């Protein structure tokens, strides 16, 4: 059985990881700030579904094959990087296009659909975006391969222990997502002007594309 000390130490590690600003934070904040609350929760559920998949695969030893195979890791890394650069680039292009045309429509209202980063308060669409973004990040798999085995005691069920620890990670991440979505509701009141919403989308698009570039460079 996993001890409470081991669970507490694992919770501290993944808690610090969760609090570190990154791609997940940017996606949740941007979606919730545009008033798409159900879609924001879809993104949260999608991201955590991906976390559960990675935790389960790591506990079964499947993701060890990913880190052991240079070709498999590179393939997933480049696919993930291309997806993030495409998603961020489409969002940036949408904001620039509507700014240059002088259209009152914002990237959060209609252009976001073109950007592929999400429009409409659709839970399922948010879930798809969240899980695809998470599963195309090979560093999640590498993290679980490196960390998870240290917290599974000898003789314990690897699958059961892995799912339990992934569940701890998910609970902390969902709690943090609640705080982000609450904060985004305050931010939403400041986004009535199209210029403010364009600014938010440009920041988010830049963050997403930058993560894609960093992933491609292996940083």
> φ, ψ for residue 209 (rounded to 5)?
-65, -35
- Closest-CA residue to 2 (of 158, 178, 174, 212): 158
Domain boundaries, the chain: 24-217
Q: Quick one: which of 149, 142, 144, 127 has its CA closest to 215? A: 142
Question: What pLDDT does residue 144 have?
Answer: 85
pLDDT of residue 218: 72
Q: Mean pLDDT by 10-residue block, N- to C-terminus, for the chain (219 residues)?
A: 88 91 87 88 96 90 69 79 86 74 45 46 92 87 82 83 93 95 81 72 84 78
Cα 1 to Cα 53: distance, rounded to the nearest angstrom? 22
Q: What is the pLDDT of residue 110?
A: 40
What pLDDT shows up at residue 120?
Answer: 66
């Amino acid at each position: 059985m996993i001890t409470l000390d081991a669970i507490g130490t694992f919770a501290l590690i993944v808690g610090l990881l969760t609090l570190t600003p990154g791609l997940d934070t940017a996606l949740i904040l941007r979606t919730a700030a545009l008033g798409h609350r159900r879609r924001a929760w879809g993104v949260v559920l999608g991201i955590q579904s991906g976390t559960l998949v990675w935790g389960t695969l790591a506990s079964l030893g499947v993701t060890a094959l990913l880190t052991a195979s240079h070709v498999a890791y590179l393939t997933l890394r480049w696919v993930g990087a291309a997806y993030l650069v495409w998603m961020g680039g489409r969002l940036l292009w949408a904001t620039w296009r509507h700014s240059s045309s002088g259209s009152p429509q914002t990237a959060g209202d209609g252009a976001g659909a073109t950007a592929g980063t999400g429009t409409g308060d659709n839970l399922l669409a948010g879930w798809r975006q969240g899980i695809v973004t998470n599963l195309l990040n090979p560093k999640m798999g590498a993290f679980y391969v490196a960390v998870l085995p240290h917290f599974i005691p000898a003789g314990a069920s690897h699958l059961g222990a892995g799912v339990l620890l992934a569940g701890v990670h998910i609970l902390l991440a969902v709690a943090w997502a609640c705080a982000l979505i609450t904060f985004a509701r305050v931010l939403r009141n400041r986004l009535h002007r199209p210029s403010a919403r364009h600014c938010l989308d440009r920041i988010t698009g830049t963050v997403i594309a930058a993560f894609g570039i960093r992933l491609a460079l292996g940083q």
